[in-house]
Amino acid sequence: MSNFSKVISNIMDSIIEISKGLVIGYIILAIGMYVFQRSLLYHPAKEMGAPKNYGMYETELVKLTTQDNNETHAWFTKPQGKKPIMVYLHGNAGNLADRAQKLKTFLKNTNGYGQMAVSWRGYGGSQGDPTEEGLYNDARAAIKYLIDNGYKADNIFMYGESLGTGVVIQMATEYDMKAIILEAPYTSVAARAAELYPYMPTGLMLKDKLVSIDKIKSVKVPVLIFHGYLDKVMPIHHGRMMLEAANEPKEARFFENVAHTDFNFDEISQITYEFIDKID
């Protein structure tokens, strides 16, 4: 064999070895992402005090028992008279304590509306670990609690923040509620994962897909969407696509200088209640 042939042979051997290493590395990465995907999706803070610790003195801690026998906590502020109740479902990081100022602002501006803020399983005192079906069960338990205590489903509206928007949409396919508000919604967790990891078969790997874009087409209640142009966590095209897919009546507010969930609480609470007040 000539020296040139030996060089070519060595190069080919090196390419084969490198290719093997890349394939093995890719497989290891894919396995790791599959096994730890819920750690990538959910970022709970488990420790949380009572509502009064955050200045919410009229709010009580409620312990819900879900249909899969999980103890899920919620913060409940009763409405005045027959005023509507907002069921609030938070995003994927932290817990309700991180939203205390937001929740207080909504209560301040409610003119007597009630509020039920759900602490997802695995977050802020709630037992269990978050999964798509688990989140649905947490939300169902909150609605059941309200109905069991004499509040009507059609006098309940739901407010979802980021991760919570997918659960709100699912609930709107199950209950004849008053309206839904979606803050920084996604078309699906699967679609966002594909954007973040285009080199991975995320559609095949994901356990929790939360396909909102398909479900919202069957939602018959009024829809209000908030989204910021500066949102890098959930780009605004997701909110625009959700608005396009939603049925009438629907509204949206797109904010130029707002990033992910970085909203003015006074502003969005006032828009929310104006939206709810004009629903017959």
Residue-wise pLDDT for 101-124, tens only, equals 999 999 998 879 999 999 999 999
Q: Is the pLDDT of residue 228 over 60?
A: yes
The model's pTM: 0.87
Give the C-alpha separation, 128 to 233, whole Å: 26
Is residue 165 located within the same domain as residue 107?
yes
Q: Are residues 127 and 251 in the same domain?
A: yes
Q: In this prediction, what percent of the chain has a pLDDT beyond 70?
A: 81
- Tally the domains of the chain: 2
Q: Give the CATH number of the domain where residue 240 resides.
A: 3.40.50.1820
68 with 198, same domain: the answer is yes
Shared domain for 31 and 147, answered yes or no, is no
pLDDT band at 227 (very low <50, low <70, confident <90, very high): very high
Asked if residue 226 and residue 124 are part of one domain, the reply reads yes
Based on the fold, state whether residues 128 and 11 are members of the same structural domain.
no
Range of the domain at 30: 1-35
CB proximity list for 239: less than 8 A, separation 6 or greater:
182, 184, 185, 225, 226, 227, 252, 254
For residues 30 and 97, membership in a common domain is answered with: no
What is the tally of helices (H) and strands (E) in the chain? Answer: 10, 10
Instruction: Select the more confidently predicted residue: 206 or 84.
Output: 84
Residues 20, 93 share a domain = no
Same structural domain, 150 and 227:
yes
| Residue 23 sits in the same domain as residue 47 | no
